[in-house]
Amino acid sequence: MSLLERENPGVIMTPDNIRSKKLPWVINLGIAVGALVLAAAVVLGLGIGNWVLVIVVGIVFYLAGLFAAASRVEGRRSARNRLWQTLIYGACILAILPLASVVWTLVSKGAARLDGDFFGSSMNNIGARDPNGGAYHAIIGTLEQVGIATLMAVPLGVLGAIYLVEYGRGKFALTVRFFVDVMTGIPSIVAGLFILAFWVLIVSPWFNNGTPRFSGFAASLALTVLMLPTIVRSTEEMLRLVPGPLREGAYALGVPQWKTIVKVVLPTALPGIVTGVMLAVARAAGETAPVLLVAGGAAAINFDPFAGNQSSLALYVYGQAGDASRYAPDRAWTAALTLVTLVLILTIAAKLLARRNRLT
């Protein structure tokens, strides 16, 4: 039944009758309730599943019923539109569910060991039957490794971005840019293996009487490899946003290009660069695999990142997750909560800083 057939030649066209008919929301709701009841009757009647299946079957029935009803009232094209809209809204709800579950589990399970002992002690001499033990050594490790990695990655990354924006041209710059993008996709475990092969197995014996040695610094190197492309990419985007007239103004005053970059371009882009760095730091702080491969993990406090095994928060979570002690899961969840809090604070601060950035 199309619009044309419904039209009455004697009637004057008004907005009320030229507009196509809409499915009233009451019918929509009715279909939803009806579909759920029908699904419950079918599923529970046949005894083939529980309430989860009722909801899934109910959604299928609802979509079918909605499509049929909308086809009758609004026409087939409009019905298809409605169907897809419902599916797209559904996808959104479906994605929120696991996130909500993760957050709820983190808070409810992580609160168990959220005490001073957890943040003030290490796992040294903690046996399987000891309920206490903490993550102090892991927090130290995370801070030192990520800090050193940031110290190495930021100058390198910012200079690389300056090359791409200010100096680079031609084939070589394009190649560098392409591989920066490719490098963002390198798996963290490969970065860990690279530092294992390069630093731990080949270079570190030179400093340690010929025996390879794990260290927090090796973890920093691996994290640098992971942070570098992210920092180059975000800094590059920020430098490109700096208005050309600012540079030209400096050139017109006779300022050489390097000084223009250091004194004019970088300060203008600074908030954006800091945002990118903070996001990179947040990602690096959550990396487990490279630390596992090159820092080795440790139970005791080790302040020296250049000698001896070190742990990190992410590695601590992984280690406690694999521990057989019945107190380990609590420690793992509390450490996970600490880690997520740290990462989210960095991320949210970065995003808020980005919002205040006048360049974007």
Partner 1 sequence: MGDYPSRSASTGAGGSSVTARHARSAGGGISPIPPDDLDGSRPPLGGGGALPRKARFSMETGFRALSTAAGAMVLVIIVAIAIFLISKAVPALQANTENFLTYKAWFPNDAEPKFGIAALAFGTVLTSVIALIVAVPVALGIALFLSHYAPKRLANPLGFIIDLLAAVPSVVFGLWGRDVFRVPVEDFSVWLNKYFSWLPIFGGDGPFGRSILLGSLVLAIMVLPIVTSLSREVFQQTPLMNEEAALALGATKWEMIRTAVVPYGKPGVIAAVMLGLGRALGETIALALTLGIVFNISFNLIESGGNSIAANIANTFGEANATGRGALIASGLVLFAITLVVNMAARAIIYRRREFRDSAA
242-281: which residues touch partner 1 (CB under 8 A)?
A: 244-245, 247-248, 250-252, 254, 256-259, 261-262, 279
Site membership for partner 1, residue 40 (CB under 8 A): no
Site membership for partner 1, residue 111 (CB under 8 A): no
Question: Shortest gap between Cβ of 318 and partner 1 (angstroms)?
Answer: 5
Site membership for partner 1, residue 34 (CB under 8 A): no
Q: What is the 3-state secondary structure (H, E, C) of 45-81?
A: HHCCCCHHHHHHHHHHHHHHHHHHHHHHHHCHHHHHH
Integer Cα distance of 272 and 295 in angstroms: 32
Site membership for partner 1, residue 321 (CB under 8 A): yes
176-215: which residues touch partner 1 (CB under 8 A)?
A: 176-191, 193-194, 196-198, 201-202
Question: Shortest gap between Cβ of 10 and partner 1 (angstroms)?
Answer: 25
Binds partner 1 (CB under 8 A): choice among 29, 37, 48, 68: 48
Question: Shortest gap between Cβ of 251 and partner 1 (angstroms)?
Answer: 3
Q: Over the range 3-18, which residues count as b (16 or more CB within 10 Å of their CB) and which as e?
A: eeeeeeeeeeeeeeee
280-309: which residues touch partner 1 (CB under 8 A)?
A: 282-283, 285-289, 292-293
Q: Which is nearer to partner 1, 4 or 99 (CB)?
A: 99
Integer Cα distance of 200 and 216 in angstroms: 11
Q: Which is nearer to partner 1, 103 or 128 (CB)?
A: 103
Q: Which is nearer to partner 1, 29 or 201 (CB)?
A: 201
> What amino acid occupies position 37?
V
Query: Where does this chain touch partner 1 (CB under 8 A) — which range of 34-42, 64-72, 102-110, 132-140?
Result: 102-110
In DSSP terms, which residues pair with 308 in a beta bridge? 215
Q: How many residues does the chain have?
A: 360
> Do 235 and 157 meet the contact criterion of CB atoms below 8 Å apart?
yes
Question: Shortest gap between Cβ of 105 and partner 1 (angstroms)?
Answer: 5
Q: Which is nearer to partner 1, 30 or 243 (CB)?
A: 243
> Do 73 and 23 meet the contact criterion of CB atoms below 8 Å apart?
yes
Nearest Cα to Cα of residue 280 among 358, 188, 200, 190:
188
> Do 134 and 123 meet the contact criterion of CB atoms below 8 Å apart?
yes
